[in-house]
Structures are given as structure tokens and as C-alpha cells.
């Protein structure tokens, strides 16, 4: 679906003018102007189904490579039993990815990043959302093999493999019980350019980092794999689920841990440099719950970075009285404040409601 067509005005100024005009509408039009526009999804381009009897495909994640924007539409998916595939939505091609070394359960952490900026292909890191003592098989990476296979004169598709990675060190400690992730994100170390994953866990465990690579002058690449966990602190990242780095603002965006319906912007650069304690929340966006006489309970939230300061917020709601579920998609735009501060202004564009009927929305990528 083209979000710019359905969820955005021509500019932030146009969105602000539309909001001002709605606020000046007569009181009798209050109900009409607050009513969400209905959303009709386009016809599907591809359907997926698990091959295992009774199984479902319950994990989908965007796989962003470094080889060009024309391949931004690649999706990795797998079932809770570990069967995996890759669909290139831009080229309408499908690749099988074999089976994970161990199933990762429902909605695991999935992060696409390059171990080092010098690589020309991202890898996907997958960690069980609630790591257990499963023989250290809760964490692995999808990575390309060194030598790609030449399929035709104008197409090269790498061979992929799933490889186990060291699990978080605390899962081997006596008395540990499976504990869920609360927040996670990635950052690039400014001193050596290596990529790092930061993960916060519940139960007083705190925050850990996973360093994917290290500087290595003896290597012709200037770096080599490190793949080592380290303790960051007893505090947790102030996000609910995934946070995303947005280069336009040099900030990390996500939903607030304390109020998941609110957007949260945080500067994690000091942590990426190995400095300081828990980060300070620099900006919390407006509460995006929509006014309505019914009580809407948030079931699932997704934040999609569209670039140029624009985001798509996808929220699945349930009506408390009827248990009916529906989706609300909102287009927003972030505007930076003055040059001498890090304040942000949230400009709300359009909202659309999708009533499920026979179908439901589980993933928005």
C-alpha cells in the first residue's frame, strides 16, 4: 500500500492547515470530523502458507541490504517451527532459506544490520523473545555465504545460511527462568564503525549489548567478527519493543515503555560510545489514542520509518465492550526544533480505519 497516497497531505503545512480548519468546524460537525476515513487494502500481490500441518507463518521482517534502495522490499518470514523463506516484493522473487537451527517462538526479535559498514550485505539477527535454557540455541544470524551463485548474466543471488550465535550470558546462571525482552535497537560505534545490538530484559536483568565485530588491523577488511555479549547496566531502554535510529535527527524513535501509545525520542549516542548511564527521554510525542465514546484497548503497535521525517503508526485496537478488533493507520511527520536544541514537533497527517471482517492485520512493514 502506498502510505503517501492514503495517509499524508502534500506537506506538513497542508496537514497543519487541515487540522486548524477541522478545529474551527461547527460543533454539530464534531462527530463527522472525528470519524476515521475507511481504508480499503489493495489486492494482495503474494500469499504465504506454512507447509507444516496446522502451522502458521508468525514472523515477518524487512531485510534491508546495503546494495541499493531498489531492494528495500525484501521480506524474511518463518514459522514458529523454523521454516524460513525470503520474498523480494520489488522483483516478485521467492527464495527458500532452509530451517533455523532452532525454532524462535512467536514474534522473536528480528534486526537487519551489517556487522561493519565495510560489508556490502546486511545480516538478520534473530533472538527468541523469551530466551530459555535451550542448549544455547536461542540466538542466530541469517548471513550470506562468501561466494554468491551466478543465476544469469544480470542476476546474482547469494546463498544464505543460518548460524548459531552465543546466547545472552545470563541464561546459563543458576536460578534463571525464561525472561522476556522489553526493548531492543541497534547502533553503530562511532570510534570503530562496528554495529552493536542493545537488548533490555525484564526481571531486573537490565540491558546487554551484542557486538557483532571488532577492529582488526591484521585482516584485509580492517575488521573481524567479535560476536560477544557485554553488560551495559541494570537499567532498561525506555522503549516498548523495537526502537529505530533516524539519521535525520540523530535520535532513536519508538513507543514509550511507560505509555506505549506515546512516541518517544531518545539520544543513545553516549551509550554507543560506551559512556554514561541510562538515557534521558528527550521528547515524548502527543498521545495518539483517538477520541471515541468506546473504550479502545491497544493490542499491538508498529512504527514504520518512511524516511524524510515521516512515519506510519499502525495500531491494532480491541473494543472492550464487544471484543471487536480493527486497525488504525496514522501518518505523522517529525519537524526539528531550533538548531540549539533537540525539540521535536509532531505533525499529524491523516488517519484511516481498517475493519477486519474475515481478515486481520498482524504485521505492518
pLDDT above 70: percentage of residues in the chain:
81
| Contact present, 52 and 61 (Cβ < 8 Å) | no
Does the pLDDT value for residue 157 go beyond 60?
Answer: no
Whole-number pLDDT of residue 54: 55
Over 60: is that where the pLDDT of 148 sits? Answer: no
Region 268-275 average pLDDT: 79
Each residue's pLDDT tens digit, 94-116:
888 888 999 888 889 999 988 87
| pLDDT digits 0-9 by tens, 272-327 | 777 778 888 876 666 555 555 567 888 888 999 998 999 999 989 888 888 888 89
**What pLDDT shows up at residue 72?**
66
Residue 337 has pLDDT above 70, yes or no: yes
Relative to beta strand 123-127, strand 109-113 is antiparallel
Q: What is the pLDDT of residue 168?
A: 95
pTM, 2 dp: 0.87
What is the average pLDDT across 245-254? 90
Helix, strand, or coil here: 20?
A: helix
Query: In sequence order, what are the residues at sequence separation of 6 or more whose Cβ sits closer than 8 angstroms to the Cβ of residue 19?
Result: 348
Mean pLDDT of the 119-145 span: 86
- Of the candidates 310, 301, 355, the one whose C-alpha atom is nearest the C-alpha of residue 331 is 310
Q: Which stretch of 78-92, 195-209, 214-228, 321-335 has the lowest confidence by average pLDDT?
A: 214-228
pLDDT at position 66 is 46
Q: In this predicted structure, which of 65-69, 197-201, 213-217, 297-301 has the lowest mean pLDDT?
A: 65-69
| Mean pLDDT rounded to a whole number for the chain | 81
More confident: 287 or 81: 81
DSSP E strands, 155-261: 155-157, 160-164, 181-188, 195-201, 206-215, 223-233, 241-242, 244-246, 251-255
**For the chain, what's the residue count?**
365
pLDDT of residue 185: 95
Shortest CA distance to 121 belongs to which of 163, 65, 73, 71? 65
Tally of CB atoms within 10 A around 174: 4
Parse the chain into domains and list their residue ranges.
57-146+156-237
Amino acid at each position: 500500500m502506498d502510505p503517501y497516497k492514503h495517509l499524508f497531505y502534500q506537506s506538513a503545512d497542508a496537514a497543519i492547515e487541515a487540522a486548524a480548519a477541522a478545529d474551527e468546524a461547527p460543533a454539530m460537525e464534531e462527530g463527522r470530523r472525528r470519524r476515521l476515513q475507511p481504508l480499503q487494502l489493495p489486492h494482495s500481490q503474494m500469499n504465504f502458507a506454512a507447509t507444516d500441518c496446522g502451522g502458521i507463518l508468525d514472523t515477518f521482517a524487512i531485510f534491508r541490504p546495503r546494495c541499493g534502495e531498489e531492494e528495500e522490499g525484501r521480506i524474511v518470514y518463518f514459522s514458529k517451527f523454523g521454516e524460513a523463506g525470503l520474498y523480494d516484493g520489488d522483483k516478485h522473487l521467492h527464495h527458500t532459506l532452509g530451517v533455523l537451527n532452532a525454532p524462535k517462538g512467536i514474534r522473536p526479535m528480528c534486526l537487519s544490520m551489517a556487522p561493519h559498514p565495510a560489508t556490502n550485505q546486511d545480516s538478520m539477527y534473530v533472538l527468541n523473545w523469551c530466551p530459555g535454557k535451550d542448549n544455547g540455541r536461542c540466538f542466530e544470524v541469517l548471513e550470506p555465504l562468501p561466494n554468491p551463485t551466478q543465476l544469469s548474466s544480470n542476476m546474482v543471488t547469494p546463498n544464505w545460511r543460518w548460524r548459531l550465535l552465543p546466547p545472552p550470558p545470563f541464561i546459563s546462571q543458576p536460578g534463571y527462568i525464561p525472561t522476556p525482552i522489553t526493548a531492543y535497537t541497534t547502533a553503530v560505534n562511532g570510534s570503530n564503525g562496528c554495529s552493536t545490538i542493545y537488548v533490555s530484559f525484564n526481571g531486573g536483568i537490565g540491558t546487554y549489548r551484542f557486538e557483532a565485530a571488532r577492529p582488526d588491523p591484521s585482516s584485509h577488511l580492517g575488521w573481524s567478527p567479535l560476536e560477544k555479549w557485554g553488560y551495559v547496566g541494570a537499567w532498561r531502554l525506555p522503549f516498548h519493543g523495537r526502537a529505530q535510529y533516524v539519521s535525520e535527527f540523530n535520535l532513536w524513535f519508538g513507543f514509550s515503555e511507560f505509555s506505549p501509545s506515546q512516541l518517544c525520542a531518545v539520544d543513545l549516542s553516549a551509550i554507543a560510545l560506551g559512556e554514561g548511564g541510562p538515557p534521558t527521554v528527550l521528547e515524548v510525542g502527543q498521545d495518539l489514542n483517538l477520541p471515541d465514546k468506546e473504550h479502545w484497548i491497544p493490542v499491538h503497535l508498529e512504527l514504520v520509518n518512511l524516511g524524510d521525517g515521516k512515519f506510519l503508526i499502525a495500531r491494532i485496537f480491541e473494543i472492550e465492550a464487544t471484543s471487536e478488533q480493527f486497525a488504525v493507520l496514522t501518518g505523522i511527520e517529525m519537524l526539528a526544533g531550533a538548531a540549539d536544541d533537540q525539540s521535536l514537533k509532531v505533525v499529524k497527517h491523516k488517519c484511516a480505519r481498517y475493519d477486519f471482517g474475515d481478515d486481520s492485520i498482524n504485521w505492518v512493514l
